[in-house]
Amino acid sequence: MFRKDNRGVSLVELVIIMGILAVLAGVSVSMMGLLPRQRARSCSEDLEKVLESTRTTAMSFYGGYVTIEVDDSNQVYATVVTKKWLNGVESEVVGEKTKLGGRPVTLTYVLSDAATEYTLNSGDTITVSFNRASGSFEKASVRVSGTTKDDAYLATMKVSAGSTQYLLTLTRLTGAVTRQKLN
C-alpha cells in the first residue's frame, strides 16, 4: 500500500517562503513612503490647475475668483465664482465646491506684505481674484478666525504632506502660477 511520509516542511521550502515574505514586506514599506508624496503632489497639481483655469475664466467673462478653504480633516476645497452680466446686471455664478487632491494635506501661505508663513486651518478661507483685463492677481482676501485681511497680495502657497512639500509661486503682475517640489 501507499505510505505517507509527511514529516513537515523542508529547509529549502522554508527559505523560499521567507524570501517571498521579505520581498512583499519591502514593497509594502516602500509604498508607505510614497503615500504622503502622492497626496502633496496631487493637491498641488489640482490647486495649480484651479488657479490657472479661474484666471482664464475671469479673463473670458467679467472677472472671477476662487475661494480656497480647509475642513476639519485638513482636506482642501476650492470654489470658483465667475462674474457675468445678465440683463444689464452684474451677477456671480458660483461653481461647485471641489476637493483638491484625494487626501488631507497642510496648506500654508505667505502674503506679499510680510515674510511670515501662515497655516490655513479649518474654517479659514483665501479668496484669490483676477483682473479681467490683464489676468493679474488682485489683492487676496484672507479670512482667519472670523477676521478678514484684504490689503495684500498672495505671494506663495505651500502644500505639505509628511516631509514632501510643493511650493506654488504666484506672480502678481502676470497671474502666472509656478509649482516646484521643495524636497
Predicted pLDDT of residue 30: 60
At 18, which amino acid appears?
Answer: M
Predicted pLDDT of residue 48: 94
d(C-alpha 163, C-alpha 119), whole Å? 16
Predicted pLDDT of residue 29: 65
DSSP 141-180: EEEETTEEEEEE-EEEEEEEETTEEEEEEEETTTTEEEEE
- 48 closest CA partner among 134, 176, 182, 174: 176
- Successive 10-residue mean pLDDT values, the chain, 183 residues: 67 86 76 67 93 89 87 91 82 87 87 86 90 88 81 90 91 92 87
d(C-alpha 178, C-alpha 183), whole Å? 16
Predicted pLDDT of residue 148: 84
Predicted pLDDT of residue 139: 86
Q: The dihedral of CA 54, 48, 36, 29: what is its sign?
A: positive
Predicted pLDDT of residue 133: 87
